[in-house]
Structure formats: C-alpha cells, structure tokens
Amino acid sequence: MTNHWIDIKNSDCILIMGSNAAENHPVSFKYVNLAREAGATLLSVDPRFTRTSAKADFYAPLRSGTDIAFLGGMIKHILDEGLFHEEYVAQYTNAPFLVNKDYRFKDGLFSGYDPEKRAYDKSAWAFQMDENGVPKMDRSLKDRNCVFQLLKKHYKRYDTKTVSKITGTPEDKLEECYRLYAATGQPGKAGTIMYAMGWTQHTVGVQNIRTMAIIQLLLGNMGVAGGGVNALRGESNVQGSTDHCLLWHIWPGYLKIPQASKPTLALYNESATPRSSDPLSANWWQNYPKYSVSLLKSFFGEKATPENDFGYSWLPKVDDGKTYSWLDLFDEMYKGNFKGFFAWGQNPACSGANSGKTRNALGKLDWMVNVNLFDNETGSFWHGPGMNPTMIKTEVFMLPACVSVEKEGSITNSGRWMQWRYQGPKPLGNSRGDGDIILELGHKIKEAYADGGVFPTPILNLKWDYATKGAYDPHKVAKEINGYFLKDVEVKGKTYSKGTLVPSFAFLQADGSTSSGNWLYCNSYTEKGNMAARRSDKDAANGIGLYPEFSWCWPVNRRIIYNRASVDLKGNPWDKKDWVIRWTGSGWEGDVPDGGWPPLKSTDGILNPKSKYPFIMRKHGHGQIFGPGRADGPFPEHYEPLESPVEKNYLNDQMLNPVAPVYGTEADAFASCDPRYPYVGTTYRVSEHWQTGLMTRWQPYLLELQPQVFVEMSEELARLKGIQNGERVKVSSARGSLECTAIVTKRFKPFTIAGATVHQVGIPWHYGWRWPQDTVEESANLLTPSTGDPNTRIPETKAFMVNVTKI
Amino acid sequence: MSKSFLIDTTVCTGCRACQVACKQWHNLPAEETKNVGSYQNPQDLSFNTYKLVRMNEEEIDGKLQWLFFPEQCRHCFDAPCEAAADYPAAIFTDSATGAVIYTANTKDLWEPSDVIGSCPYNIPRQGNRGDLAKCDMCLDRVQNGLLPACVKVCPTGALNFGDREDILKIADQRLQAAKKRFPQATMLDPDAVRVIYLVAYDPKLYHDYAVASAGALGMTRQMALRKMVRPIKSLGSRLL
C-alpha cells in the first residue's frame, strides 16, 4: 500500500476491484464503513457478486482477465471528458515528457519485439533528452510526442462498445463506474483502489496495476489522504517478507539480484544506480551503493572489506536473462534437476498453480524438508491421491514449527507498518520458531563446511551471531536489519560512535563504515529503542489517522508515500481538510515528508532551485504514466488470458501477452477456445478459511461454516447442465479435475461477450485431500495453468478454462 | 443498568466471526455440516448453535442483494418464554442487565414445547437431555465488564452493545444515516426487545422470524389455561 488501512476512511470513492475485501480483509471494512458514513461511494467490480458487492453502492460484473480493457476505458473517459487533475498531471507526472520518435505501437506489439525470444528490445521506449541530459518536456501537454498525447492515442481504441464486447460489462454500467470514480479528479477529492490477487495473478498482472496507477496519476490521487494504489496483502507478513527479499529477483530493500555479467561490486553498483542530470530530481536511488555495501557488511561483518569487494564475489549470481521464479523452480524440479527442497511455511501441493505438476515434481527429489505447523498435502504428497508410494524415492523430513503467537518478532502489514509482537504461550512440544530453526541450521551448515567443501568461503564468513544464551534473539536480528555504525562516523559535524545503531538510512555509507540488513528498515530500531513496539494512540497534527507513534512504518515512518504530491507547487494541500503535509514557510508539518526540501515554488510563484520533484524514487522525479521499465510495454494493453473463451482479441492482433512465459512439459497442457473446456474458471478465498486451509481446515468451528470445496455457478448454467443446487459435480481443466459441491446462485450471471453467452464459475482454493478425511476435498489449483506475468512470474490462477459435469 | 444490543445489518459483511466467537466462548461443539448449496451453515440454530448468520439472495427493485442477518435471542422485555415457563430456577431475567437466562433446570420444565412455542422469534432449542439453550448475552463476560463475545470480534461495527439508553441513541443515529441509502430502513421491535435489529429492507426477506410472529408476543389462551392447572412436576422439583 502507498497509503495504509486506516487511511481508507479518508477516501471519497473506494474502488474494490481485483479483491474481495469484505470477505478476505474483513477488518478493512471498519475503515470502508467510516468512509461511507462520511459520504464516500463504494464501487465493487467483480466477475461475481460477493460479500463486498453486497455492501457496495455500485456493482458491475466483468469477465475474469479483462481488467485492462475495463480500466483502459476509464482512462479514455477521463481524457475525453477532461476529468483529470490538470496541474498535477502537468507538473508531477511524466505526461509532459517527450518520447523517442521511434516509439511505436502496432498490431498489439510495441517497438522492438523479438518473436523468437518472446521479448522486447526496449531501447525505443525512451525519453528525448535535451543538451543537459534532462528529459525534454512540454508542460502544456500538446506536443504530439509527449506522453499525454501518446496516452490519448493508445486508449482511443478503448471505447465503451469495444470494452463491453470484451468484458461483458453492460455499457451503461461502464459509464456509471467511470463517472463515479473519475469525479475524484477534482482537486481536493480522493479515490482509492483496494486490489489483491484478482489483479496480480494474470499474464497481465503487473500491467493491471499499471493501468490503475495511470488512472490515479491522472486524477491526482497519489500521495493524498484517501488515495493511493493499495495492495491488500494476503498474509499478515507478506509485505515484510517481500521487503526482506522472499522473491528471487531482489535483495533486501528491493536492491537488485546480482547477475553473472556483473562480476565485480563496481559493475553491479554502476548498473543498479540510476543517474539524473536534472538538479530538481532527487533521484533517491543514486544512494544505491550505500545500501548495497551496508547490506554486504551486514552479511559478512568484519570479513567484508573494500579489498574483497565486501564479499560481493561470494554471493550467487543469476544468469542474465534467466528467471528463477516459483514456476521456473517447479518446472526444473519436475524435469528432475533438483535434489532437495525446503518447503518452509508453505503448502505447494495445494497452493501452487498446476498442483498436479507440483505434486509430481516433489516425487523427483531425493529429499524434502517440510517445516510447518501440521503435516500437509506437501509433506504427505507421496501417499496422496493417484500416488504409488513404492515408486517414490523422495525422503521427507518434518520439522514442526510453532505458531506466530508463540514467538516474539515483527510482522509488516499491508500498510508497511512494522509491528512488534510479544510472545504469548511457549511453543508446544518439540515445535520451534522459524528463527530458532534457521539459526541452528546455519550453525550446522557452517560445521559441515568447516573441513572444506566445494565453496566454503561465503558460508564460513557469514556473520551468524543472532543468539542470546544459545537461543534465537529477535531483537538482535531486528537491530541488524536496522544497522550499526561499524566505526566512529562523522555526519554533518556530529560523531556517531562505533557500535551504535544508525538513526536512519540517510546516514548509511558506501565505504564499509555502516551496516544495514535492509536500508528501508533503517530507523526502525535505533538508540531510542524498538520503534515497532510503540503503541501510542496520539495522532499527527493533521488528524487524519496517521498515528505516527503507533508501531513504525517504512520508509522513515512516512505513513503516506509520495506525499509531496498532495500539495500544489507552493506547498498548499490540494485537500484543505484531510491534508497530509503542508508548508509552514520554513518547514513541513503533518506526515514525514518525502524529503524536507522546500516546495517547488515560493509564495510569489518563483521556482525554487533547492526544491525537488515529488516522486523522489523515480529517476526523473515524476510519476510514471509512461513506464519504460516493464517487460511487456510502457502502456498497458489488453491481451487475453492463456486460456480464453474468445477466438479473437477485439483490441489488437495478439491473443496472449506476447512476452508471457509458456512452459513446455506434458504437465503444462492448456486449452484455449476449446469446446471441451467451455467455461471461464477462477479461484478465490472465503472469509472462513485461509490460504490452503492448513491453519483453518483443522479448526472444527471453521469447517462447520465451510465444510467442503464448492463451485459457484449461475442459475442459467445449472439449468443448461441439469445441475441441482448442493449436488456434487466434477470440474475439470486441461490439467486436472476435482469434485465440488455446486452452489447455484444469482450472484453469478452469464456474460454476453461479443454477442455470445459466456459462463463463468469460481472455486475457493482452501482445500486439500489430507483433511478432512471422510470426504475428498481437493485443491482448486489442480485446475490452474503454469503461466504467469512476464515481470513477476506470478501464476495466472484467476482466469482459465474449465468444464463442469454431473457425476 | 439494563443492557441492549444494536445489530446494524446495513454494515454486516457476513464474515461470521460472531458465530465462531459465540461457540468459542461458550465452548460449544462444532456441528458436522455439509455444504447444501449455500454459504450459510449450520442451516438452523440448535442446542449447540446460539448465533447464526442467515444469508439470503434477494432481488429487490431489480437489483440483487445478499442479505445477512446475525440471528440470536432478542432478550425480550417481559419475555414470553419466561412467562410460559413460570419457573424462575429455569428461566429468569437478570435484573441488572435484562439478560433472559436459561439454566440446566430447563430440563424440568412442565411443557418445554410451550416455552419454545411461546418465542415470537423461534429461538430456544432443546438438547438430548431435555434442557433448553440459547444466547445468554455472555452474562459472565458482561458481569465482568467485557463485551459479549460476538460484539467483541465484530470488525465492522455491525454488532454493538452497551447501556440501553446509549444503544437507543446510537440506533437512532444509525437509522437516520441508513435511511439516506435505504429509504425503507427500519428497526425491528425496538420497544419490545433488548436486541434491536436495523434492517435496510422488508424484514421478511432476511428471515421469517426477523420480526415477532403475529400474536406471538404474550401467552396463548391454551398456555394460560395449562399454567393454571399445572402443578406437580415442576413444583416438586422446585421444592427440591
């Protein structure tokens, strides 16, 4: 979230699309209700009428996988009707930037496409530079090569008639939704988006979010209270685990993973550090080497020296152009290229897309360690449905982990709040906290390499001192993440002594004199104490619910990021009532500002050369309507899912996202426009269960509420198939099938797509064969395909094709 | 001081945290259920289920609505069940809170079916041993200054609990606010019960017993007669 949970209450219009917040983020509705009490409008757009829709002022259906068409239509509406926030767009976004004249979009492809590699050469997606190396701009937005004009041209095709033909949303519903949401383009009004996996889990996942980001920039909704782009995270600490580099493509704090082509630290830092020649651009990432070197110092302590590149060469590098995502790992495992696997706090046999492939992949291992609260479908895969235990060589070890309340530590919620939690009861039996397990594992691996090995240096040099009296100490880890001064360091005339905690990332150094396990978290645990453990209910001066002394928030306790876009050029808030920051004449008050520089203009309207543009994390300081960094194009474009019910993309000549990954084993079958699988399928969660159900299916109270996997379908489809409400039916895809209880409901309606009737069904993915035992309730992921977003490789589990048959 | 609930269905999201919290606090067993083609489960209140969120899909004025109704005992003023039982050791009204409480002595009721039948909201349920059960307002919690378990866990503010005067004030504010969105919004039997529901549409669409069934408040003539001639069983046990 650019904003945070409580801030939802400040919104004037809340769009819930790509998520089902009432069901899956129930507490968020406390703030949704507060906003509505104050007069906000709640919009729900979803293939199915959900518990969220039940509370909304407006509901519109759309076919799964057509969000860009829907939102592209909104961009066109905003531009056609002139509803954008003109000053904001012209001054704070890259709408005025002139794009390279070679940039083209034709037949669904952007310039530079290589069909063999299924990849783009992005060199034409660049900005024109002036003689000083600063992007050329036309703040009047009239130049035919400026981003604003290219945006207009790109979305000209997205008229409501065409959009409706694709999404199945009636045209009048599209218009009403556009009108209601675009009203927040008025200065002082704020619209927010609450989205989740309904947007990310597609072959166009990143571009779904990009489309909304463009809308938010056009309407001036970034940086303001009640605005922002807000991802509702699916687990309490997903934000934290992402920040600390759970994913393969980053290091902690969103630093880049090193590539084989960058063998030295200098080359790595050089390639990762953006350069801007614009004196008004803060270009915050210019500090990159301070963060990367401080991270290496945190990894290797005294062993990391300038002479050995701070241990950079000891770390693994990824091959250039190769991806190592979940889909790739299980593809390699399926092909027999892995020996061992730690399934840690996860249940891939049910959670991974194309779970049948995943389960077979587990059988190709020599060993697997399952670290979890209970045995699950992953640990027990070898005696699951369709498996022959005598044919499986994989040796499975179970390490019982304790639950979150039995250990001390922090979680970081969707709103970027790092919240410290104390230990409740002690762990049961032999179960242990993850920290204890990892710490001991590290010691054992170090022991194993003490007498040599293939490449023992990084393991032996790893700093591994996080125990107190032999037990894992979460405070030591939290302090390490914050970072220390490793020498006496003088900053701006003040000396900070060796061994003390760094006050904030502005103090980190690239010479090895500081450490920080994650620069974004530098300021979270300082000499003033554990900031995340704070629990004050005092609000900030603006009274908008920031509660700056309750827990701690990255970066540097800034509760709403890009908040310098919430004010005009002179530092006066667009919204006088729910203001985030404002210029007092000598400084900012309210939230922690995005840098303390003065406003762009003084009160008499003169440009202040000491100021900086508000989007400080972007190289050129402007919000990116044109986004040249993505794998699949600088503007979002509608492509059909890998499996689609239509034979034609009505917006361009490409069916599938031209750079979406496609996997090639026999387990990766797919069937688009295939009469054997005529219905659109999607997956989702319900309030009563969580993820694969590992923690909820074993709870009798929750099983009482939702005892069985079900498939929801319209009354029309049920009639067509002769299916009765409550009857068990079979749902199948090109990859697998499962038995479900039919819920025949008015909440699903058939879509009219290009004149034809298209049915959609949906299945929750909370179930698995392991429990409950007296019935076979299986995972919906047996149906889902192995493809995903080309930027993130998140799987496309929200739109695929199925059949439903009577048993 | 007398206590009351306000159940504002216009902000209930049907998450059913209340249903689970009720079972957890009262240590009631989970029922073995099947999905019968609806999210609602169990299908009805029972001896082991005091609170149930009823869910109905209704088309109202051409628009689909999914109505949630967290059902529970209304803790009536002049509770008909208490009158029908006429046996304070089994059914009584707690004077401090107004909670209508059933005890294990309900197994000795002369005519439990009369007690069940007297309820205008069809709430009491009989267990295997003959005793009756229903929501007890979490009297043990309330007496110790805590909110009822269902109210405590409600994330949206649909469930509210407090001194009756305060609740009536909130109810009135909520009703006025709700009417802006739902012109038909109304409170259900607010003068007769301590659990006041605020609904957006015709209460019958939520649940057959959302409002008191006609003529059910108060005793039937038959019950009154039986009470006059009833003596022995309950009297006897009462003396013990």
pLDDT digits 0-9 by tens, A547-575: 999 999 999 999 999 999 999 999 999 99
Place of tokens 């009989």: B126
Q: Residue B131's closest CA among B33, B18, B237, B40? A: B237
**CA distance, residue B38 to nearest chain A CA (Å):** 6
Give A229's strand partners. Answer: A193
**CA distance, residue B220 to nearest chain A CA (Å):** 37
Q: In this complex, which of B35, B36, B66 lies closest to A51 when CB atoms are compared?
A: B66
Task: State the pLDDT at residue B213.
Answer: 77
SS3 assignment, position A543: coil
Interior/surface letters A10-34, b for 16+ CB within 10 angstroms, e for the rest: bbbbbbbbbbbbbbbbbebbbbbbb
**pLDDT above 90 covers what percent of chain B?**
88
DSSP-assigned letters across all residues of A304-333: --TTTGGGGGGS--BPTT---SHHHHHHHH
Place of tokens 């952007």: A110
What would the mean pLDDT of A637-647 be, rounded to a whole number? 98
Write the ipTM.
Answer: 0.95
Place of tokens 């009203």: A183
In Å, how far are A205, A257, A345, A482, A505 from A253, measured between CA atoms? 22, 11, 22, 11, 11
Asked if the Cβ–Cβ distance from B181 to A57 is below 8 Å, we say yes
For helices A67-80 and A205-218, give the axis angle rounded to 10 degrees.
20
**CA distance, residue A709 to nearest chain B CA (Å):** 8
CB-CB contact of A767 with A779 (8 Å)? yes
Token pair recorded at residue A313? 């060469």
Contacts of A700 in chain B (CB under 8 A): 29-30
* Residue B15 sits at the chain A interface (C-beta within 8 Å): yes
Asked if the Cβ–Cβ distance from A687 to B30 is below 8 Å, we say no
Query: Residue B128: CB partners within 8 Å, gap ≥ 6?
Result: B47
Q: In this complex, which of A26, A54, A704 lies closest to B41 when CB atoms are compared?
A: A704
Q: pLDDT tier at B215 (50, 70, 90 boundaries)?
A: low
Residue positions counted in chain A: 807
pLDDT at B231 over 90: no
Query: Chain B residue with minimal CA distance to A22?
Result: B13
Q: Residue A645's closest CA among A754, A797, A735, A785? A: A754
The per-residue pLDDT for range A246-256, each reduced to its tens digit, is 899 999 999 99
Query: Residue B87: CB partners within 8 Å, gap ≥ 6?
Result: B105, B108, B109, B110, B234, B238
Q: Residue A190's closest CA among A561, A566, A613? A: A566
Residues 75-134 of B with CB under 8 A from A: none
pLDDT at B223 over 70: no
The per-residue pLDDT for range A743-776, each reduced to its tens digit, is 999 999 999 999 999 999 999 999 999 999 877 8
What would the mean pLDDT of A783-801 be, rounded to a whole number? 97
CA distance A91 to A254: 27
CA distance A93 to A135: 12
* Residue B11 sits at the chain A interface (C-beta within 8 Å): yes
Cβ neighbourhood burial of B196 (10 Å; 0-12, 13-18, 19+): buried
Cβ neighbourhood burial of A412 (10 Å; 0-12, 13-18, 19+): buried
Average pLDDT, chain A: 97
Token pair recorded at residue A47? 């293939």
* Residue B68 sits at the chain A interface (C-beta within 8 Å): yes
Asked if the Cβ–Cβ distance from B13 to A54 is below 8 Å, we say yes
Q: Provide the 8-state DSSP code for A731.
A: E
The per-residue pLDDT for range B89-114, each reduced to its tens digit, is 999 999 999 999 999 999 999 999 99
CA distance A158 to B72: 50
Q: pLDDT tier at B240 (50, 70, 90 boundaries)?
A: very low
CB-CB contact of A48 with A183 (8 Å)? no
pTM above 0.90, yes or no: yes
Task: State the pLDDT at residue B225.
Answer: 56
Helix (H) or strand (E) holding B126: strand B125-126
For residue A557, count other CB atoms closer than 10 A to its CB: 21
In Å, how far are A151, A289, A322 from A270, measured between CA atoms? 32, 8, 21
* Residue B34 sits at the chain A interface (C-beta within 8 Å): yes
Contacts of B29 in chain A (CB under 8 A): 700
Most B CBs within 10 Å: which of A699, A701, A717, A745, as the mutation test of the B interface? A701
Query: With helix as H, strand as E and coil as C, how does A487-499 read?
Result: CCEEECCEEECCC
* Residue B23 sits at the chain A interface (C-beta within 8 Å): yes
Query: Chain A residue with minimal CA distance to B24?
Result: A701
pLDDT at A379 over 60: yes
Q: Residue A155's closest CA among A626, A751, A753? A: A626
CA distance B32 to A33: 34
Q: pLDDT tier at A279 (50, 70, 90 boundaries)?
A: very high
Task: State the pLDDT at residue B233.
Answer: 46
Q: In this complex, which of A704, A724, A747 lies closest to B33 when CB atoms are compared?
A: A704
Q: In this complex, which of B16, B31, B59 lies closest to A746 when CB atoms are compared?
A: B59
Alpha-helix residue ranges (DSSP H) falling in A191-275: 197-200, 205-218, 238-243, 265-272
* Residue B16 sits at the chain A interface (C-beta within 8 Å): yes
Token pair recorded at residue A346? 């996860």
Most A CBs within 10 Å: which of B9, B10, B12, B16, as the mutation test of the A interface? B16
How far is C-alpha A564 from the geometric centre of its chain's CA atoms?
23
Most B CBs within 10 Å: which of A20, A34, A51, A695, as the mutation test of the B interface? A51
Contacts of A686 in chain B (CB under 8 A): 39
Q: pLDDT tier at B218 (50, 70, 90 boundaries)?
A: low
CA distance A275 to A390: 59
